[in-house]
């Protein structure tokens, strides 16, 4: 049995980072199994997690062998029957390791709703002492009914090992706790290191671009490499946003204009992605910030600080027009150039100017991209302590932004920023009520208590992951955030990258 699992999962720790997780909505996939590519482990894996979740939810009302439950099982079996025909060895391997799910050796890229369902399934597997399954060709509805009945019964009793001895045709069960060993966690660092490498590369390329502008005294320089990095980041936002967000507040490089430019671009792209803007527009938003700061080096005023002394309407209008005029010879009418001009023209204006105080007319509202970039820049300035802001921990930066919702920042975007980053943003170092220090590695699910994220203990010998939203950790909570010394930050970043 273990040999079969090892063969099926030999590439578990080296996923294809360039692959796109072309997964449609789960309900559409279940309703129309013939219209999705079931050769892709990502597609079948998400159908597996969603289907088992759905079946067991129905089974919590009815019995497993009830007609309603069998309908849900039949839907899944249709997808399985097609997917297994593409499997080289005639079987599909599903392995659960903590917050990860691996199908035929490929780690699933789960969005938040899918991750919540996976976590519930993992808890059921833990109660039944199951680490993984090998679903073989020939598996039928009756076999699945028998397996799920045993799983439901095992998870409802105390103590692991309740499915030891259970045998179901065409389902091989690998027994054991569905948690990763420290060796497995360290091996999985490859994925996080890839993202860290891309992030550092973006910082370096942005700094090189700034140096080139200073040397040549022109903002018209090649930016193709940065554009490609932004496109790569856009592709990762939905699936690897936890790792990306955790890198930004770790201050892996000294704060400066280059790190502010690249970090702000990522925050803005994340908000644009969460608003449902298409991938091209998301990358345009990031590149607009990059070009804004190239223009800044040529004397164009960029953005606004909420505690700046405001200009009169006439002074602001004249200042913005001067900046636009200075830029026009360098812009070429493409999307990014248009956004650069728009941002320069709207710089320094309130996000929602009331009637009676017009910038150039009454009842004027800033463009959505302007508002996104304003709040993203402000948050990063607070984190890095640049341009007159006192450097703050991520949780205190969130509090600062919240305190100015409706005045300096669009309150809807403030809510989106807080729901995305969390009250204790990813990368925040905290002390638990149990006395241990930890680093936040996941934000809570939208339906969960925002004060109870997923953390990893800052203990190199035992970097345990604790999901504070789980009932078994109800007696543990975050006591307060903590600041780390320089050498402690390096240790914390290493432990974070085990994620």
**Domain parsing of the chain, residue ranges:** 2-180, 188-421, 429-487
Q: Return d(Cα 39, Cα 172) in angstroms, integer.
A: 21
Q: Return d(Cα 266, Cα 315) in angstroms, integer.
A: 32
User: What does the block give as tokens for 42?
Assistant: 């990502």
pLDDT at 184: 56
Question: Mean pLDDT, to the nearest integer, of 59-79?
Answer: 80
pLDDT band at 303 (very low <50, low <70, confident <90, very high): confident
**Residue 18 pLDDT exceeds 50:** no
pLDDT at 32: 40
pLDDT band at 185 (very low <50, low <70, confident <90, very high): low
Can you give the pTM of this predicted structure? Answer: 0.61
pLDDT at 451: 84
pLDDT band at 199 (very low <50, low <70, confident <90, very high): confident
**Residue 358 pLDDT exceeds 70:** no
Percent of the chain, pLDDT > 70?
Answer: 79
Structural contact between residues 375 and 409, judged by C-beta atoms closer than 8 angstroms = yes
> Between residues 206 and 68, which one has the greater pLDDT?
206
DSSP, res 409: B
**Residue 494 pLDDT exceeds 80:** no
Q: Return d(Cα 439, Cα 166) in angstroms, integer.
A: 40
**Residue 2 pLDDT exceeds 70:** no
**Residue 175 pLDDT exceeds 70:** yes
pLDDT at 10: 39
Question: Mean pLDDT, to the nearest integer, of 216-239?
Answer: 85
Using alpha carbons, select from 17, 384, 436 the residue that is nearest to residue 198. 17
DSSP, res 95: E
User: What does the block give as tokens for 129?
Assistant: 């002492």
Cross-sheet strand order for the sheet of 106-107: 106-107, 100-103, 91-97, 130-136, 171-175
Kindly tell me the sign of the dihedral angle through the C-alpha atoms of 295, 299, 303, 305: positive
**Residue 263 pLDDT exceeds 60:** yes
User: What does the block give as tokens for 151?
Assistant: 């799983």
Question: Mean pLDDT, to the nearest integer, of 268-296?
Answer: 92
Structural contact between residues 219 and 291, judged by C-beta atoms closer than 8 angstroms = yes
Range scoring the smallest mean pLDDT among 163-172, 190-199, 241-250, 403-412: 241-250
For residues 94-122, b (16+ Cβ closer than 10 Å) or e, as one string?
A: bbbbbbbbbbbbbbbbbebebbbbbbebb
Using alpha carbons, select from 356, 13, 338, 418 the residue that is nearest to residue 186. 13
pLDDT at 189: 53
Structural contact between residues 287 and 265, judged by C-beta atoms closer than 8 angstroms = yes
Mean pLDDT over each residue of the chain, to the nearest integer? 79
pLDDT band at 289 (very low <50, low <70, confident <90, very high): very high
Q: Return d(Cα 248, Cα 289) in angstroms, integer.
A: 16
Structural contact between residues 242 and 426, judged by C-beta atoms closer than 8 angstroms = yes
pLDDT at 446: 66
pLDDT at 181: 63
- How far is the first Cα of the chain from the last one, in angstroms, to the nearest whole number? 28
Range scoring the smallest mean pLDDT among 282-291, 318-327, 397-406: 318-327
E strand intervals along 27-77 = none
pLDDT at 34: 43
pLDDT band at 216 (very low <50, low <70, confident <90, very high): very high
Residue 248: strand, helix, or coil: helix
Using alpha carbons, select from 469, 383, 482 the residue that is nearest to residue 430. 482
Question: Mean pLDDT, to the nearest integer, of 6-16?
Answer: 37
| Distances in whole angstroms, Cα of residue 162 to Cα of each of 153, 158, 176, 351 | 8, 9, 11, 59
Alpha carbon dihedral 344, 347, 351, 354, in 10-degree steps, equals -110
Task: Specify burial of residue 286 (Cβ count, 10 A radius: 0-12, 13-18, 19+).
Answer: buried
Using alpha carbons, select from 230, 219, 239 the residue that is nearest to residue 263. 230
**Residue 135 pLDDT exceeds 90:** yes
pLDDT at 157: 64
Q: Return d(Cα 453, Cα 182) in angstroms, integer.
A: 21
Please state the CATH superfamily assignment of the domain spanning residues 188-421 in this structure. Answer: Hypothetical protein af1432 (1.10.3210.10)
Q: Return d(Cα 84, Cα 241) in angstroms, integer.
A: 31
Q: Give me the numbers of helices (H) and strands (E) for the chain, helices first please.
A: 17, 12
| Polymer length of the chain | 499
DSSP, res 419: H
**Residue 376 pLDDT exceeds 70:** yes
User: What does the block give as tokens for 82?
Assistant: 């097609």
């Amino acid at each position: 049995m273990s040999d079969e699992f090892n063969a099926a999962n030999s590439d578990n720790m080296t996923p294809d980072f360039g692959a796109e997780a072309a997964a449609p909505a789960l309900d559409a996939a279940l309703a129309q199994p013939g219209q999705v590519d079931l050769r892709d482990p990502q597609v079948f894996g998400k159908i597996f997690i969603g289907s088992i979740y759905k079946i067991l939810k129905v089974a919590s009302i009815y019995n497993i062998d009830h007609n309603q439950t069998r309908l849900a099982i039949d839907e899944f079996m249709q997808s399985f029957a097609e997917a297994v025909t593409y499997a080289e060895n005639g079987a599909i391997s599903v392995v659960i390791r903590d917050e990860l799910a691996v199908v035929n050796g490929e780690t699933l890229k789960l969005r938040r709703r899918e991750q919540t369902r996976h976590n519930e399934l993992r808890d059921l597997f833990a109660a039944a002492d199951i680490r993984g399954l090998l679903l073989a060709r020939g598996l039928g509805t009756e076999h699945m009914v028998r397996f799920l009945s045993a799983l439901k019964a095992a998870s409802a009793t105390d103590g692991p090992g309740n499915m030891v001895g259970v045998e179901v045709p065409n389902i091989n069960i690998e027994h054991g706790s569905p948690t990763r060993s420290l060796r497995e966690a360290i091996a999985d660092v490859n994925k996080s290191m890839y993202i860290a490498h891309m992030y550092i590369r973006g910082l370096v390329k942005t700094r090189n671009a700034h140096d080139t502008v200073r040397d040549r005294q022109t903002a018209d320089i090649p930016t193709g490499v940065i554009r490609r990095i932004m496109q790569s980041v856009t592709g990762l936002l939905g699936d690897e946003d936890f790792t990306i967000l955790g890198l930004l507040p770790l201050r892996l490089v000294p704060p400066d204009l280059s790190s502010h430019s690249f970090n702000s671009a990522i925050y803005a792209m994340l908000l644009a992605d969460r608003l449902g803007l298409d991938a091209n527009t998301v990358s345009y938003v990031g590149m607009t910030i990059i070009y804004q700061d190239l223009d800044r080096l040529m004397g164009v005023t960029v953005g606004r600080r909420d505690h700046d002394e405001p200009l009169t309407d006439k002074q602001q209008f004249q200042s913005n027009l001067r900046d636009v005029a200075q830029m026009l010879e360098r812009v070429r009418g493409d999307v990014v150039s248009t956004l650069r001009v728009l941002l320069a023209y709207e710089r320094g204006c309130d996000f929602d100017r009331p009637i009676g105080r017009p910038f150039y007319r009454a009842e004027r509202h800033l463009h959505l991209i302007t508002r996104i970039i304003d709040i993203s820049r402000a948050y990063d300035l607070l984190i890095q302590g640049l341009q007159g802001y006192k450097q703050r921990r991520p949780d205190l930066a969130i509090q600062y932004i919240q305190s100015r919702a409706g005045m300096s920042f669009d309150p809807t975007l403030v809510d989106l920023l807080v729901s995305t980053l969390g009250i204790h943003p990813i990368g925040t170092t905290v002390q638990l009520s149990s006395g241990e220090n930890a680093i936040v590695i996941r934000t809570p699910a939208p339906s969960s208590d925002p004060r109870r994220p997923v953390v990893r203990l800052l203990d190199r010998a035992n970097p345990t992951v604790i999901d504070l939203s789980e009932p078994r950790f109800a007696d543990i909570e975050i006591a307060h955030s903590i600041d780390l010394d320089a050498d402690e930050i390096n240790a914390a970043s290493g432990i974070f990258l085990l994620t």
